[in-house]
């Protein structure tokens, strides 16, 4: 640092280093004590993260690439990193449930083959920095008459008419107990003719990493149908869109409080006449996300499917505080398959029909390619925003194991 400062002013050196990829910065920490100190400064880390933009973990859902994933940055100049999930060949499909705020702990859902037309689903905790994996299995099996056709639906927490049950998950941090928790809701069919019987919530369980065990909460005291793993952890709770029946449109939001380990009051959707112009069909594109720490609803038009609106709940739990924040029209020729949520920098992640991942600026409606393209029409992937962190380099600062130390910070 001193030698470079003799050639360039120190502020110029900082600017140069802030444009380098994470892998180079890890190597440069070994140059000298002054460089190690500089690269560890919160000021520099913040500067680098602001320049690199959001980091996204992309996990393929198809079997052929189930153990490969990518770390990409919203700013394509930062580069892309291929990651290998250390899960072996046991799992034929993987999806993302959630992650810690710094990306050091990632919660996945995995399907493994049990026997003909039956599979087992498990929660998988993965620390990219150490390579450690912790599997939290589910005791029962999912029986399916069309397996493996519906595996991508099952792994993401969606029901299929041919399956005996499906599992919905949520992941979050409980600061008072300094503990990460996973909630699992089991939806099952019952009756003599199981295939014709309705599917209902039958069991709620909570896993505590600090306690290292599952806790059964029994049958939930509601009959709402929720679909999809929660991607909206707000106010200490995981949230899902909910409907009164399997195929009924969403009309409310269900929340599970991680501290109290129970479901809270049902949250109403925006009571706006304009909302009737947008699809809340459970097989549509509507989803919940987080916008600047607030609960957000993303919905697409019924007639114009490339029209999208984002509502934000200004005051948590108060239905009258819903505000229509953004109205977006995707450019002609760009057809959206699904909205994957909002990044922490407020941009909308979209998966297109050609299986390309794009990022849409909600302010100017500019779409940018982030460098991920599915391998074919049947390929698909799951994405989660890590905020700007590169979880693969956190171990360079000597962080201990998140999966073996109870009550970690």
User: How much is the pLDDT for 397?
Assistant: 38
Is the domain of 122 the same as that of 224?
yes
Three-class secondary structure assignment of 16-71: HHCCCCHHHHHHHCCCCHHHHHHHHCHHHHHHHHHHHCCEEEEEECCHHHCCEEEE
Q: Among 107-121, 123-137, 294-308, which is the least confidently predicted range?
A: 107-121
- Decide if 19 is inside a domain: yes
Q: How confident is the model at residue 83 (pLDDT cuts 50, 70, 90)?
A: confident
User: 33-40 and 10-17 helices cross at what angle (nearest 10)?
Assistant: 70
> Which residues lie below 8 Å from residue 333, measured CB to CB, with a gap of 6+?
none
Of 38, 49, 84, nearest to 392 by C-alpha is: 84
**Residue 388's pLDDT is what?**
59
Cα–Cα dist 102/391, whole Å? 7
Shared domain for 249 and 163, answered yes or no, is yes
166 and 105 within one domain: yes
In a domain, 277, yes or no: yes
Indicate if the pLDDT at residue 24 is higher than 80.
no
Q: What is the pLDDT of residue 2?
A: 47
pLDDT of 223 strictly over 70: yes
Instruction: Give the domain-ending residue among 251, 268, 285.
Output: 268
Q: Residue 72's pLDDT band (boundaries 50, 70, 90)?
A: confident
Does some domain include residue 91? yes
Which of these, 367, 392, 370, lies nearest to 383 by C-alpha position? 370
397 domain-assigned: no
**Which tokens sit at 265?**
């009051």
Lowest mean pLDDT among 77-81, 280-284, 305-309, 402-406: 402-406
According to the model, what pLDDT value does residue 353 have?
81
What average pLDDT is seen over the chain?
Answer: 78
How large a percentage of the chain has pLDDT more than 70? Answer: 72
**Which DSSP letter does residue 172 get?**
E
Final residue in a domain of this structure, among 232, 247, 268:
268
Q: Which one of 218, 251, 268 terminates a domain? A: 268
Q: Tell whether the model's pLDDT for residue 378 goes beyond 70.
A: no
The mean per-residue pLDDT over the stretch 38-55 comes to 64
Supply 39's token pair: 């690269």
pLDDT at 398 (0 to 100): 39
72 within domain boundaries: no
Mean pLDDT of 252-278: 89
332, 238: one domain? no
Residues spanned by the domain of 160:
86-268
Judgement on whether residues 252 and 380 belong to the same structural domain of the protein: no
Neighbours of 223 (CB within 10 A): 11
Could you tell me if 14 and 97 lie in one domain? no
Measure the CA–CA gap between 404 and 363, rounded to whole angstroms: 43
Task: List helix spans (H) across 128-181.
Answer: 151-155
Cα angle vertex 362, ends 359, 368, to 5°? 25
Q: Please, are residues 206 and 189 in contact by the beta-carbon 8 Å criterion?
A: no
Which ranges in 53-194 belong to alpha helices (H)? 151-155
**The Cα angle at residue 22 between residues 20 and 26, in degrees rounded to 5:** 105
Question: Do 260 and 292 sit in the same domain of this protein?
Answer: no
Examine the domain organization and report whether 290 and 310 are in the same domain: yes
Mean pLDDT along residues 393-401: 46
The percent of residues in the chain predicted with pLDDT above 90, rounded, is 22
Predicted model pTM: 0.81
State whether 264 and 285 are in the same domain: no
How is residue 231 annotated by DSSP? -
Number of domains in the chain: 3
| Nearest of 248, 267, 261, 245 to residue 184 by alpha carbon | 261
Predicted confidence (pLDDT) at residue 367 exceeds the cutoff of 50: yes
Distance CA 112, CA 94 (A): 9
Strand ranges of the sheet holding 68-73, from the earlier edge strand across to the other edge:
80-84, 68-73, 55-60, 381-385
Higher-pLDDT residue of 192 and 9 is 9
Q: Phi, psi at residue 2, to the nearest 5°?
A: -65, -40
248 with 304, same domain?
no
Domain-located, residue 68: no
263 and 274 in a single domain? The answer is no
Between residues 365 and 173, the one the model is more confident about: 173
Question: Is residue 295 situated within a structural domain?
Answer: yes
Q: Does the pLDDT of residue 90 top 80, yes or no?
A: no
Judgement on whether residues 125 and 248 belong to the same structural domain of the protein: yes
Q: What is the pLDDT of residues 124-164, one digit of tens each?
A: 998 887 788 899 877 767 766 665 556 666 767 666 666 77
**Can you tell me the distance from the alpha carbon of 294 to that of 240, in angstroms, rounded to the nearest whole number?**
14
Structural domain includes residue 129: yes
In DSSP notation, 294-319 reads EEEEEEEBSS-TTEEEEEEESSTT-G
What's residue 331's pLDDT? 73
């Amino acid at each position: 640092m001193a030698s470079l400062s003799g050639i360039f002013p120190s502020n110029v050196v900082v600017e140069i280093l802030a444009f380098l990829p994470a892998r180079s910065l890890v190597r440069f920490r070994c140059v000298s004590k002054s460089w190690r100190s500089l690269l560890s400064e919160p000021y520099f880390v913040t500067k680098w993260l602001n320049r690199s933009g959001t980091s996204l973990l992309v996990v393929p859902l198809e079997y052929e690439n189930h153990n490969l994933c990518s770390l990409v940055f919203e700013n394509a100049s930062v580069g892309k990193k291929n990651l290998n999930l250390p899960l072996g060949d046991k799992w034929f499909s993987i999806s993302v449930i959630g992650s810690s705020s710094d990306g050091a702990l990632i919660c996945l859902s995995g399907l493994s083959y049990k026997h003909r037309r039956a599979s087992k689903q498990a929660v998988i905790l993965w620390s990219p920095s150490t390579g450690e994996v912790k599997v939290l299995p589910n005791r029962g099996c999912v029986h399916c008459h069309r397996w493996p056709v519906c595996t991508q639906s099952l792994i993401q927490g969606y029901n299929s008419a041919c399956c005996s049950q499906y599992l919905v998950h949520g992941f979050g941090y409980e600061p008072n107990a300094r503990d990460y928790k996973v909630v699992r809701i089991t939806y099952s069919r019952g009756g003599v003719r199981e295939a014709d019987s309705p599917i209902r919530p039958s069991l709620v369980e909570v896993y505590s990493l600090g306690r290292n065990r599952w806790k059964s909460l029994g049958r939930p005291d509601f009959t709402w149908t929720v679909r999809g793993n929660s991607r909206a952890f707000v106010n200490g709770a995981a949230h899902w869109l909910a409907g009164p029946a399997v195929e009924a449109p969403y009309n409310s939001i269900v929340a599970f409080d991680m501290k109290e380990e129970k479901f809270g009051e049902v949250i109403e959707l925006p009571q706006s006449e304009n909302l009737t112009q947008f699809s809340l069909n459970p097989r549509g594109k509507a989803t919940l996300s987080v916008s600047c720490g607030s609960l957000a609803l993303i919905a697409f038009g019924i007639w114009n499917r490339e029209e999208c609106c984002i509502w934000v709940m200004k005051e948590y739990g108060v239905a009258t505080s819903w505000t229509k924040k953004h109205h977006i029209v995707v450019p002609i020729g760009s057809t959206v398959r699904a909205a994957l949520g909002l990044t922490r920098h407020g941009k909308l992640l979209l998966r297109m029909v050609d299986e390309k991942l794009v990022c849409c600026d909600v302010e100017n409606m500019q779409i940018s390619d982030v460098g991920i393209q599915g391998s074919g029409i049947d390929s698909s992937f799951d994405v989660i925003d890590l905020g700007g962190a590169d979880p693969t380099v956190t171990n360079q600062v000597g962080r201990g194991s998140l999966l073996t130390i109870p009550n970690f910070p």
